[in-house]
Amino acid sequence: MQNHPVYTDNDPQNENSTLNLGPTHPATHGVFQNVLQLDGERIVSGVSTIGYIHRAFEKIAEHRPFYQITPLTDRLNYCSSPINNMGWHMTVEKLLGITTPKRVDYLRVIVMELARISDHIVCNGVLGVDTGAFTGFLYMMEFRESIYEIYEEVCGSRLTTNIGRIGGFERNFNAKAFDKLRKFLVEFPKTLKQFEALFNRNRIFVDRTKDVAAVTAEDALNYSWSGPLLRAAGVDYDVRAMNPYSSYEDFDFEVPVGENGDVYNRFLVRNEEMWQSMRIIEQALVKLEKEPTDIFHADVPEFYLPPKEEVYNNMEALIYHFKIVMGEIPTPTTEVYHSVEGANGELGFYLVNDGGRSPYRLHFRRPSFINYQMYAPMSRGMLLSDAIINMSSLNVIAGELDA
């Protein structure tokens, strides 16, 4: 990447114009500020300012019991909160040595893959909007709604889901959830196919995205990129395949890989991941048929809150309820790093525990934060309009960026 001198505004030699892209710009889809130096329409240099919605989650987490940290993880990548929730539950389960039944794993896989699809729907749909094609976005958005309805059946909420508990789910999937899921699996492929027909070989779209913001695999690794962005650059690193969690090793799926990491490749990789996610969900549904239908959490009474009616009528449940809520159950003093494949890349949880009710230190390895740091350097020499679509294909989610 070439180096240009960075001028300040009142520098008499500065012949560039300064443009504040953000913090609230309709094309940035979130709270990001980039102060760009423009030579005509070309970007000479840029400085990213982040942290506009920093909420100190890592600090708050040090003061909360484990199960109360799940709602914080919702608000990281709020386009796919179930993945964050599950990632956090699995981190705690790893710490506590809880093994979950297969049925729980498969249900989790279903929810996580739905979350991945909903995230990619938004990203690819919005990429279409930013290149001037609104139609595809509207077609696809309908199915994000279908996914949110499935979440509603499973956990009661839609965007910030707080789905599942440490050890499993708070309640079993009901029949309606499976009905809606099956309906989704029948209807979504048709629309996705239509969406691909609208975009993949569309001359205007391809001209706008091909070779825009291309990233070599070396650069992507150097900047610790992960997720669809890294895979679009040609590196087949997927946490699901490399370090399988939640029984991903039982599933047969492919990790799509791009060639040169440009916006078009990222678009194709995300589209293909949606197909693969549906493949995984279909396999999970088949596998679920062989599992007992009444299991939805691990048998760990000391960490899994008992149902309320039992708390009032059963002595043991009352004791466990009290102990869990008051945090009187000893936990191991150790440290654990667990990562899941978030919709944007490797979402890691580094948890240092001192045996108390809340973490001694919790650090989120947030893929958006790490992916976004290449944005300003890679924008140099780029057209302003290309920088806009580059940002939307990076799919930086402000909540995950700022934690």
Distance of closest approach, residue 188 Cβ to other proteins, in angstroms: 32
The stretch among 172-180, 262-270, 285-293, 367-375 that binds other proteins (CB under 8 A) is 367-375
Environment class of 292 (CB within 10 Å of its CB; exposed 0-12, middle 13-18, buried 19+): exposed
**Residue 167 vs 348, nearer CB to other proteins:** 348
Distance of closest approach, residue 317 Cβ to other proteins, in angstroms: 27
Q: Which of residues 92-121 bind other proteins (CB under 8 A)?
A: 94
**Residue 64 vs 144, nearer CB to other proteins:** 64
Residue 54: strand pairing partners: none
Distance of closest approach, residue 83 Cβ to other proteins, in angstroms: 18
Distance of closest approach, residue 327 Cβ to other proteins, in angstroms: 17
CA distance 216 to 25: 29
The stretch among 60-68, 106-114, 286-294, 304-312 that binds other proteins (CB under 8 A) is 60-68
> Is 166 a residue that touches other proteins (CB under 8 A)?
no
Residue type, 319: I
> Is 153 a residue that touches other proteins (CB under 8 A)?
no
The stretch among 74-82, 123-131, 177-185, 336-344 that binds other proteins (CB under 8 A) is 336-344
Angle, alpha carbons 226-227-229 (nearest 5°): 80
Backbone angles phi, psi at 156, to 5 degrees: 100, -15
> Is 370 a residue that touches other proteins (CB under 8 A)?
yes
Half-sphere exposure of 109 (CA within 13 A, CB side): 31
Using DSSP, state whether 317 is helix, strand or coil. helix
Which residue of 358, 369, 388, 395 would you call a contact of other proteins, by CB under 8 A? 369
Which residue of 31, 147, 150, 235 would you call a contact of other proteins, by CB under 8 A? 235
Distance of closest approach, residue 400 Cβ to other proteins, in angstroms: 12
Distance of closest approach, residue 94 Cβ to other proteins, in angstroms: 6
> Is 403 a residue that touches other proteins (CB under 8 A)?
yes
Check residue 167 and give left, alpha or beta (phi > 0: left; psi -120 to 50: alpha).
left
> Taking Cα atoms as reference points, which of 378, 394, 105 lies closest to residue 245?
105
Beta-strand (E) ranges in 167-215?
Answer: none
**Residue 323 vs 361, nearer CB to other proteins:** 361
Q: Which of residues 203-222 bind other proteins (CB under 8 A)?
A: 219, 221-222
CA 297, 301, 304, 309 torsion: positive or negative?
positive
Residue 363: strand pairing partners: 350
CA distances in angstroms from 67 to 163, 168, 306, 366, 401, listed in the order given:
11, 12, 13, 20, 23
> Is 360 a residue that touches other proteins (CB under 8 A)?
yes
Mask for 266-305, x = binds other proteins (CB under 8 A): ----------------------------------------
CA distance 340 to 170: 21
**Residue 197 vs 242, nearer CB to other proteins:** 242
> Is 339 a residue that touches other proteins (CB under 8 A)?
yes
> Taking Cα atoms as reference points, which of 174, 158, 156 lies closest to residue 115?
158
> Taking Cα atoms as reference points, which of 168, 151, 100, 163 lies closest to residue 306?
168
**Residue 59 vs 190, nearer CB to other proteins:** 59
Q: What CA dihedral angle connects 289, 291, 296 and 301, to 10 degrees?
A: 180
CA distance 335 to 213: 38
> Is 14 a residue that touches other proteins (CB under 8 A)?
no
Distance of closest approach, residue 59 Cβ to other proteins, in angstroms: 6
Residue 37: strand pairing partners: 18, 45
**Residue 33 vs 385, nearer CB to other proteins:** 33
Query: Residues in the site for other proteins, rule: CB under 8 A?
Result: 50-51, 54, 56, 58-60, 62-63, 94, 219, 221-225, 235, 237, 242-243, 334-337, 339, 346, 348, 350, 352, 360-361, 363, 365, 369-370, 373-374, 377, 402-403
